[in-house]
Amino acid sequence: MSQHPNGIPAHGGHLINRIATPAEKQEFIEKADSLPKVQLDKRALSDLVMIAIGGFSPLNGFMEAADYETVVTDMRLKSGLPWAIPVTLSVSEEVADSIKEGSWVRLDSPEGEFVGILELTQKYRYNKAHEATNVYRTDETKHPGVKVLYDAGPINLAGPVWLLERHPHPLFPKYQIDPAESRKLFLERGWKTVVGFQTRNPIHRAHEYIQKCALETVDGLFLHPLVGATKSDDIPADVRMRCYEIMLDKYFPQDRVMMAINPSAMRYAGPREAIFHALVRKNYGCTHFIVGRDHAGVGDYYGTYDAQYIFDEFEPGELDIVPMKFEHAFYCTRTQGMATSKTSPSLPEERIHLSGTKVREMLRRGELPPPQFSRPEVAAELAKAMQASTGN
């Protein structure tokens, strides 16, 4: 991996910034009432934000057909640069028919607030079944990512975007650290090697173990929980964030860890999303990225370590971020510590590991997960939140 005085370059060479300048913002506001309008859903809004702040560099807008097709079929932009997930804005036929290519389009939030501008360069039909089977490896609508795809409109709108203004996050303003700032903070801390950790679940002992294993070999850990749209049965972001705060306060060295929110929405695309998540963290300035068991998976759609194998489909140096691949971690009763099958001599019955589903069931019953699975303070926080949500 090439080292640079200002950290590793963003994917594609430079960090994109599509946040409107004050002059641009004023111009957009003056024109807003006369422009055709598209209302974004939660995922499209988070995609707009991620494009604007550079998290999706080198994208400067929603994908045109040529990029879309090569990403779906080959995991590459038309330039040949690796990219694993299509980033598109899908609308109904009626909406598409009302907008001409070459025009500006006003983008509104799900609540109807004016949030951005799209310069419409192209509108095109796309094949949903083709995208589903390539990106998600299934066309079953019980897969949450496929369901979103099949519920979307049949026409994609493409072109460069501008975010009108970067507002502080309503729940986690102090953890809103965008790529330009995270890169600056890594440099200020003297971190030449930084490992990113993606999570949409509350942190447990297995997570803690692999994060600390990774931290033994790099300068800093970038804990980067996703707070965009997730499945309805995932633990809410505010609960997860409180759990991370407890862990960082009590169980991690303060000067070696930085936490920031990732505004992205989950796709649940398993292996492809592991590549996508790695490239996003590269844009934030990470040199390494943790890939554990069934990364970004859901149900039984992906093999246990498919998200690790997919990194081998790219030439060395192409992604320019190092995947750190970890086995499924568990508490070993024989050695009385966290371990994986690589480090533990134990038999299966000597291993304690609980699925997220089992833990949620325990919490609903008012039971705390065992300390071998979760730090007690985190378990108590989860139990309190679960009982509040069920009215117990």
Catalytic residues: 200-201
d(C-alpha 312, C-alpha 111), whole Å: 42
- Say which residue the tokens 């607030």 belong to: 113
Residue 5: CB partners within 8 Å, gap ≥ 6?
Answer: none
- Which residue, among 325, 184, 303, 189, has the nearest Cα to 257 in the 3D structure? 189
Q: Where are the beta strands (DSSP E) in the chain?
A: 37-39, 61-62, 89-91, 104-108, 114-119, 122-125, 155-163, 194-199, 220-225, 257-259, 288-291, 322-325, 330-332, 337-339, 351-352
d(C-alpha 116, C-alpha 146), whole Å: 26
What is the 8-class DSSP label of residue 91?
A: E
Phi, psi of 91 (to 5 degrees): -135, 170
- Residue 255 CB neighbour total at 10 angstroms: 8
Residue pair 244/259 in contact (Cβ under 8 Å)? The answer is yes
Q: Which residues on adjacent β-strands are paired with residue 199?
A: 225
- Which residue, among 148, 119, 108, has the nearest Cα to 131 in the 3D structure? 148
Q: Which residues on adjacent β-strands are paired with residue 108?
A: 39, 114
d(C-alpha 107, C-alpha 115), whole Å: 6
Q: What's at 382, amino acid-wise?
A: L
Q: Where are the beta strands (DSSP E) in 34-152?
A: 37-39, 61-62, 89-91, 104-108, 114-119, 122-125
- Which residue, among 57, 60, 53, has the nearest Cα to 182 in the 3D structure? 53
Q: Is 237 left (phi over 0), alpha (psi -120 to 50) or beta?
A: alpha
d(C-alpha 256, C-alpha 132), whole Å: 40
